[in-house]
Amino acid sequence: MLSQRRAERFFTHDLAQFLPHLSVDCVVFGFHNSDLKLLLHKWKHLNRWSLPGGYVRRREALDAAAHRILHERTGLKRIHLRQFHAFGDLRRKEGMLRELYDTVGIEVPRNSWLLHRVVSIGYYALVDFRKVRPKIDYFSDACSWHPVDDRPPLAFDHGRIVNLALEALQAGLQSPAAGANLLPERFTMSELQRLHEAILGRSLDRRNFQKRMLERGGLARLTERRIGGAHRAPYLYRFKGRRAKP
């Protein structure tokens, strides 16, 4: 997290530590029950929201930079991140950066490396938002979850970044083990269907969904059932390759 002193030093001395034209933007989707949310942070004193992101250090791999930034924002480690796109429009951040820095009270030299063109590498992650404790830094006064379909307008080109990340997330549902890190070790077919529906943003036919999931071959149906519901106890499943505990 950046203090004011650290932030001011960032503008004048840290060029030796960071690559001046390369950053990472992280789209963090949070899921629980039937809700799909998006982690955003709000710039201090401005009604502008954006994705968690930051510059890549000179001696840091891209994946390591993404994990560092996510850890700073969520406190989570070992998040499964996927790189999905590069964003390099010529004027993607032109003008707005100076406004943001002026608002938080830091004077940026006209020729500062922070005001130059930036190419950003997009990553996305899907996590259980109950386990995330969003954090703020010197440049923000809020970091919170927002419904994907009811998010505030985003700064820069972050709206486009979110849309492409959502497309990549939806395409990832073709994997037999999609969402394995979000479901309990034993889960019902209805729980798996709710995850897919939240990501796709639409309802799915129960019978067709079950048939399609079983035809993929990535699920193993267990002999035990989920007890305690109002209806007939459904069978439990697990992902193959993920050993069930006794």
Mean predicted confidence (pLDDT) in 200-227: 91
CATH of the domain at 209: 1.10.10.10
> Which string of b and e fits 164-202 if b means at least 16 CB within 10 Å?
bbbebbeeeeeeeebbbebbeebbbbebbbbbbebbeee
Residue 216 located in a structural domain = yes
Confidence of residue 168 (pLDDT cuts 50, 70, 90): very high
In a domain, 244, yes or no: no
Q: Please tell me whether residues 161 and 182 are part of one structural domain.
A: no
The number of domains in the chain is: 2
Residue 192 domain-assigned (yes or no): yes
Q: Is residue 246 in some structural domain?
A: no
For the chain, give me the number of helices (H) and strands (E)? 6, 10
pLDDT given at position 76:
78
| pLDDT of amino acid 165 | 96
- Domain co-membership, 184 together with 203: yes
Same domain, 30 and 61: yes
Q: Are 113 and 97 in contact (CB under 8 A)?
A: no
| CA distances (Å), origin 114, targets 23, 47, 62, 98 | 11, 21, 19, 9
98 or 76, higher pLDDT: 76
pLDDT at 103 over 80: no
The residue out of 173, 192, 208 marking a domain boundary is: 173
138: its two tokens:
């010197």
Which residue's structure tokens are 């990472």? Answer: 24
**Per-residue burial over 92-121, b = 16 or more CB atoms within 10 Å of its CB, e = otherwise:** bbeebbbebbeebebebeeebbbbeebebb
Could you give the CA distance from residue 244 to residue 162 in angstroms, rounded to a whole number? 35
Check whether residue 79 and residue 121 sit in a common domain: yes
**Statement to judge: residues 91 and 59 lie in one domain:** yes
Q: Which residue has the tokens 């796109």?
A: 85
Same domain, 67 and 95: yes
CA-to-CA distance for 145 and 132, rounded, in angstroms? 10
Of 120, 144, 173, the residue at which a domain comes to its end is: 173
Looking at residue 126, which CATH number applies to its domain? 3.90.79.10
Whether residue 245 has pLDDT greater than 50: no
Question: Around Cβ 71, how many Cβ atoms within 10 Å?
Answer: 14
Tokens 């996927």 locate to: 82
Domain identity same for 9 and 124: yes
100 and 42 in one domain? yes
Which residues constitute the domain of residue 194?
Answer: 177-239
Average model confidence (pLDDT) across the chain = 83
- pTM comes to 0.84
Q: Do residues 154 and 40 share a domain?
A: yes
Q: What angle do CA 123, 144, 40 make, to 5 degrees?
A: 35
Residues 82 and 143 in one domain: yes
- Is the domain of 111 the same as that of 54? yes
What angle, rounded to 10 degrees, do the helices at 206-216 and 189-200 form? 100
* Residues 41, 163 within the same domain: yes
